[in-house]
Structure formats: structure tokens, C-alpha cells
Chains A and B, each alone.
Chain A
């Protein structure tokens, strides 16, 4: 048995926030940065976003085209699998619903699963149903300012009802797939779906 360290509490909240916290989480006031690689710095002049069908058909937006799409403001709690949660974060971004209908007009067909791909090579897989119907966005403002690079700027996926690793920083492509394929962390022992309320942290949980 692991001995208890006398007097050690860890960086956790006293009481109060409990009901708003998924199991095993603690509230943090700052916005921790987890980084699996150097921070990409893609200039907006070359940044683009692509939605791609299983058949290879794609729709692409430059930065100016992307930010000209109808925007939404989102205020949500976010939950990181490393156990911090941050309440009431506010974002501005384009709903995935909006992107999908614009892409459909250009012949892009969706499929049941989505692989998000980012600058730097990071990937994460999310079921399509978890990105649509107002559940997912590509966010480019945090608070009232452009999303800083260390938090995934210029733009990151935002899927707040799943653990935050699903909200891929520096996202550049959403690829629709008929079959589910694990992304970066999902292929290294983390849960394929990642629902914080069911505490689906690791492969095999639940």
C-alpha cells in the first residue's frame, strides 16, 4: 500500500465547487498549459482550415474566409484529464455545424467519425455526433482576445463536454471517417471517447 503523505492535499479546491466538478477533478483558476511539442506558429497568411470527406473531397477556408463565417460566443466549463477543471471559460468561434453546412455546399460529405489534425502532427478522434448540434466549435478568441498560441491559437477545436485533450490545439483539418481510428493519446492508453462525467480517462475505463 502507498503510504499517505501527512498533510499533503494536492492542488485541489477546499469545498464548494463540488457539484460542478466531474469525479476526480479539482478546480483551477489559472489556465494550465500542457504541451506535447514545440508551439507551432503558423502565420495567418498561410493558415487554412480543411474539412475532408472520406472520398477525399475537401472544403478549405483561408483565415479571412474562416473568421467571416457566422460566429458564436460560448461560455463553458472545461475539464482536463490531468484533473484540473476551469469554470466559465468564454470563447468565440465557428460552430462545426456551420462549417459542415458550408462544406456540404462544396460537395463534402460527413461520416460517423472525425479525426482532427493539427499543426505539429497532433491528432484526436471524435464521433461526429459529439461535434454537431451545438456541441463543437473551432474557437479563435479566448476571453475577448485572440487565442494565444500556447492555448492553441490561432484556432483550436472546442468540445467542452469531453476531456480537453479532444479540443485539439492548432487545428487545421477535420477529416470525416467511416471507421473510428484512435488519435495521438487515444492510441497511447487514453480512453477513446473521454467523457469526464463518466471518468473515462484511460483505455478500459468503464
Chain B
């Protein structure tokens, strides 16, 4: 179930990579075994720390992709060609390797079922990761047959990717949406749409949000995650007093 952040100072833990599965040509999901993991809430992240032979260390944040209900902790990492840490996580690391991390971190960008909905998620690129944790959490909490519970908590995802092959969790999102009419997934492809693509083919803009977002009168819970320019553009459109 949803766990509160532990009331202790946060510590580094040693996780073991259970498996590493490609999601797209440039992203990979690492499933981890983390002894003593205290549980997390959807939307939280971990800090990962790598240590070289000579003691040099590099630290980066990665959102948790798995739902709190899942038995393994999953991270999905996108490879940046000239990056320091992401090429290591997406290429070098393999099952059985150890990985130092600490978490869960962040009590602000979190959602769980009791917070309620409607839930409007807007993501760009690997910004889908914490949103996926929310979608998975929603799915595991609301019993498959419970139409009523799902109707009370509808969710919509507006997800911007460069191309169709770069859509992270593409099949899983399609499968979830297919069996759950209260989950809508809307893609926009900014660069290379496949032949015959009829969906959005541009960056997320006001007109798209007007079309996809719930009206403000429905009191949606909105979570936006992605590169800073996308987040700022969306947030300034969906303005609300802070």
C-alpha cells in the first residue's frame, strides 16, 4: 500500500538489478530488488549514485516507474548520448549488478487514489515515468471489474514523444486503455509520425490542451512532467493560483 516517507534521514541503499528491458531504442527499464525498501508513493523519485574505481562519484535523480503495489522497484532511463550517467544505466548495467540509490524522495509531485480525480497527466519524453507510476497505481487499486470506482476517478494522459518508436510504455498504455474506458491516452508526435498517423503532430499547445484537458469546473488534478520548456508552456496555459 501507499507508504509514508520514513521518519528518518534518508540513507543510501544497495539495490540489485533483477533485469533490464528495452522500452524504446533509447530507453530501458531497470527492475530492482531493494532490500528494506520502505515503499513509495506514485510520482516520487530516487537518487542514483555511481562510483568509479578511483572514488569519483556521479549522482542523478530518476523517477520511480513502478506502482507502490508492484513487487520490484522499476526505473526507466532514457539514454542521452553525451550524458555521463544515463549511457551507463542504459547500456552497461546488467542483471545481477549492484546499484546505489536512496529514496523515496519528493512529497510534492505525488498522487494516490485517496487524492482523487479526475486525473489529467501531461508528459513529454521520459517525463512519462512518474505519470506511469500514477497510472499503474490507479490501475492496481481500482479492481478491474469495478466500473463505478473507475468512473469516479477517470484519468487522461496527454503524452508528447518525438516519434512513434520513441513512445515509452506504448503497448502497456494501449493495453490499459483498451480494457479501461475511464483511462484515455492521447499521443502527440512532434517529429516523425508514422504513415497514416491521424493523431496530433505538433508540440503541446493551448489548443491541444483545450481539446484534451478536463474543464476547470471538473476540478482535475493535473500533473505535468517533462523538459522544462514543455512544463512551463503547459503550466502557463493551465494557470492556477499557487
Interface residues of A, Cβ cutoff 8 Å to B: 2-12, 83
Contact = CB atoms under 8 A, between A and B. Distances in A.
Given A8-B51, A10-B84, A3 B58 contact: no
Contacts of A3: 14, 51, 98, 100
A4 B100 contact: no
Contact of B57 (A2, A6, A11, A12): A2
A9 B54 CA distance: 9
Interface string B37-54: 000000000000111110
Nearest to B82: A30
B16 to A, nearest CB: 11
The secondary-structure label for the interface of chain A is: loop
B200 interface: no
A3 B98 CA distance: 8
B52 A8 contact: yes
16 contacts: A3-B14, A3-B51, A3-B100, A5-B50, A5-B88, A5-B97, A5-B100, A7-B88, A8-B51, A8-B58, A9-B52, A10-B52, A10-B56, A10-B84, A12-B56, A83-B56
A4 B53 contact: yes
From A3, A4, A10, name the one whose CB has the most chain B CB atoms within 10 angstroms.
A10
B99 A5 contact: yes
Nearest to B92: A7
Interface string B63-102: 0000000000000000000001000100010000111100
Contacts of A10: 50, 52, 56-58, 84
A6 B55 CA distance: 12
Those 5 A-B pairs whose CB atoms lie nearest each other, nearest first: A5-B50, A11-B84, A8-B50, A10-B56, A7-B92
Interface residues of B, number: 18
Nearest to A24: B56
Interface string B1-41: 00000000000101000000000000000000000000000
Given A3-B98, A5-B52, 17 more contacts: A2-B12, A2-B51, A2-B55, A2-B57, A2-B100, A3-B14, A4-B52, A4-B53, A5-B98, A5-B99, A6-B92, A8-B50, A8-B51, A9-B53, A10-B56, A12-B56, A83-B56
Contacts of B84: 10-11
A83 B97 CA distance: 27
Contacts of B14: 3
B97 A6 contact: yes
B227 to A, nearest CB: 16
A82 to B, nearest CB: 11
A16 B98 CA distance: 31
Contacts of B53: 4, 9
Given A2-B57, A3-B14, A3-B51, A8 B88 contact: yes
Contacts of B49: 2
Contacts of A8: 50-52, 58, 88, 92
Most chain A beta-carbon neighbours within 10 Å: one of B49, B52, B97, B99 = B52
Contacts of B88: 5, 7-8
A8 B57 CA distance: 9
A3 B48 CA distance: 13
Interface centre among A2, A8, A9 (most CB of B within 10 A): A8
Contacts of B56: 10, 12, 83
Contacts of A7: 88, 92
Nearest to B91: A7
Nearest to B97: A6
A9 B100 CA distance: 15
A2 B55 CA distance: 9
B182 to A, nearest CB: 41
Interface centre among A5, A6, A11 (most CB of B within 10 A): A5
A35 B51 CA distance: 25
A4 B97 contact: no
